[in-house]
Structure formats: structure tokens, C-alpha cells
């Protein structure tokens, strides 16, 4: 099994945050998935072609440290987003040539 990890943090000033629960912002799922796309580009030089499955288990707050973990096993690309030991999101993706 091949694996890759990339830390990330969504800054408090991110333009998507003011409209996403004003007064108590959460990082939108699409911004978390952009971190998955960035990790895939960094790992394999591929673009994110398809999200086959995604499950969000816990919220990510602006300014918190998180990590995207990618793994490939039996031809499937899986992702996890974690804050320390806590699972925030997981799923299956497909990459394509950039």
C-alpha cells in the first residue's frame, strides 16, 4: 500500500468563511476537499477527477491544523482528513492526468 500525508490549515480570513455560519464559522466541506485535491497534486501530479464517496464525521474550525492522508490499495485511492487522532472526513477519489 502506498501512502502520502499533507498538513493544512484554513486561515480565519478565508473568503468562504463569512457566509458559512456567520458568528461561528466552520470550514465548508468543499474547502476540505480542495485540500484533498492539493494533496493528490503534490503526491502524484494528478488532478482530482471524481469524488466517488465522501463522509464528513466532524467539523473543522478555521485556523485549526489538519492533515490529508491519501492511500492507494487494490487500485482505489482513499482519503482521510484528520485533526490529530480525530477523523474529520473520509472517502474514495479518482485522479486523472493534470
Residues involved in catalysis? 20
Degrees, nearest 5: CA angle 61-53-79:
60
Q: Which of 55, 39, 53 is nearest to 89 (CA)?
A: 55
Helices then strands, each counted (H, E), the chain: 1, 5
Amino acid at each position: 500500500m502506498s501512502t502520502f500525508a499533507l498538513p493544512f490549515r484554513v486561515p480565519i480570513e478565508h473568503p468562504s468563511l463569512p457566509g458559512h455560519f456567520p458568528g461561528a464559522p466552520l470550514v465548508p466541506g468543499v474547502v476540505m476537499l480542495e485540500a484533498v485535491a492539493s494533496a493528490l497534486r503534490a503526491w502524484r501530479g494528478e488532478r482530482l477527477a471524481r469524488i466517488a464517496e465522501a463522509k464528513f464525521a466532524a467539523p473543522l474550525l478555521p485556523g485549526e491544523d489538519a492533515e490529508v492522508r491519501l492511500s492507494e490499495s487494490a487500485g482505489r485511492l482513499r482519503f482521510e482528513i484528520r485533526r490529530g487522532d480525530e477523523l474529520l472526513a473520509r472517502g474514495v477519489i479518482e485522479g486523472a492526468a493534470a
